[in-house]
Amino acid sequence: MMNYNEYNNGSYSENNVFSADPCVKKPSKKRAAAKIAAGIMAMSMVSFGSVAIYRAAESNTHTTKIITEYVDRTSGVTADSMSLLGSKTENSTGTALSTEDIVDKVLPSVVGIKSEFTVTSQGYSGMFDFGMNSGRSSSRTATGTGTGVIISEEGYIVTNAHVIYDSEYNSGLSDKITVILSDDTEYDAEVIGYDTDFDLAVLKIKADGLTAAEFGDSDDLRLGESVVAIGNPLGFELKNSVTTGVVSGKDREVKISSQSMTLLQTDAAINAGNSGGPLINKYGQVIGINSSKMSSSYSGASIDNIGFAIPSNEAAKIVRDLIDCGHVTGKPQLGISCQDVDQQTAEMYRIPVGVYVTSVNENSAAEKAGLLSGDIIVEFGGKEVTTTAELISEKNQYSAGDTVEVKFSRSGETKTTELTLGEAE
C-alpha cells in the first residue's frame, strides 16, 4: 500500500478548530443544505494577515492559503449576539457621521496582532514523495501581523483565524500572540477559540476598561453605501491606516483556496496586514471583518479595489460559539485527513482518481464506518468526488447526524459503506 504523505498541496485535515474550554456537546442539529451557487466565483483570492510570515520565511510578501471546509452559515443571525460582549448594538439608523468622526469613534477599538510561528522545512525526494522523506529539516521563527477588533471591555478580541493559524507552511497555531492597543500598549493574548472554516478567531487579553466596538446589522447595508476600513497594512509601520469606499456587493460567493465563503465586497483598500480589521458603516458601526482581496493575477488582468469582508451578522453567531464552547457547533465531520489523487498520480500508481485517506481519527464517523488509511473515496452521497474540495462541498450538503453512502477503493477493490456524520468540536 502506498504511503501518500501530506507533502502534496492537496492535503487536508479536519483538525482545523480549537477549543480552549469546550462546552458540553450539544445534540446534533439539522441544518438546511448548504446552498452553493452554481456561479461561485473561482477567483484568485488572497487572505492577508498572520502570514506576514513573509518577513522571515520569504523575502517577498507571503499570502496565506486556507484549505478548509465550507460550512453553511446559520441564517437569521444578527449582530445582537455581540451586544453581551460590549456596547449594545443599535439599528443602523440615525445621523451619518463624517469619516473623521467614524475614525475617532472606532480607532480605540482597533488593535494590532503579532503572531510568532515555528516554520519547519522538510526535505523530500520527489514531487509527490510517497513516504520517501530525505530526513533533512530546519526550523526557524517567523513573525506575522494582522488586525483585530475589541468586542468587550474585558479584553475579548475578534480577528481572522489565518492571523493566528498558519496553513501555508503547516505551522499551525501561533506559538505566541501579542496584541498592540491603539496607545501602543502590548499584551500577551490567549486563544479562546478559532475556526479556519469561517476564518474567525477570538482572543483574550488581561485588560479592563477597553473601548468595545459597536456592531451594526450587515443585512441593512445597501449597495453603494459608504464604508471605512481601518487596519495595519504591510505591518505596523503603517499602523491604523484608514481607507474609504463603498459596498460594492453583498452575498458574494467567493472561493479562497478551496474554501467557499459568503462575503461583503468593497472597493475600500484592503492589503496585507488588514486581516481581522473592521469594515465600518456610516454610523460608526462595525458591519464586517476584513478578510481578503482579489489578487492582480486573476485571469492575467490588472485588478484593483476588490476586497472582501465577513458580514457582522455571520460573524456574530460564530464569535458567540467560540466564546461559549471554544468551537463552532453543529458542523458535520468525517474525521479524516486526506489529499487529492489527480489523473497523473492515478495513472502512475494505477489507482482511481479520488480523495486519498491519509489518516482516520479515533472514534470518528469515518472509523465507525470502517474507513481506513489508504482508502480512496470516489463517491459521497451518490456524487462523484475527485478532489478534497469536492468531498468537502458534498459533505456540507448534510447535517451532523445524517447517514451518507460512501464509495471507496481499497487495494483495487471497490467497496461501499454507510457513514453517519459526526459533529465537529
Catalytically active residues, by annotation: 162, 199, 275
Element (H, E) at 363: none
* DSSP, residue by residue, 2-14: ----TTSTT-EES
- Counting Cβ atoms within 10 Å, is residue 88 exposed (0-12), middle (13-18) or buried (19+)? exposed
Query: What CA–CA distance (Å, rounded) separates 92 from 65?
Result: 34
CA 7 to chain centre: 21
Sign of CA dihedral 285, 287, 293, 294: negative
Q: Which amino acid is at 241?
A: S
Q: Which residues on adjacent β-strands are paired with residue 149? A: 110, 158
Q: Which residue has the cell 461583503?
A: 264
CA 157 to chain centre: 16
145-174 as b/e: b if 16+ CB within 10 A = bbbbbbbbebbbbbbbbbbbbbbbbebbeb
Instruction: Of 85, 49, 83, give the one whose Cα is nearest residue 204.
Output: 85
Contact 399, 421 (CB under 8 A): yes
Contact yes or no for 265/223 (Cβ under 8 A): no
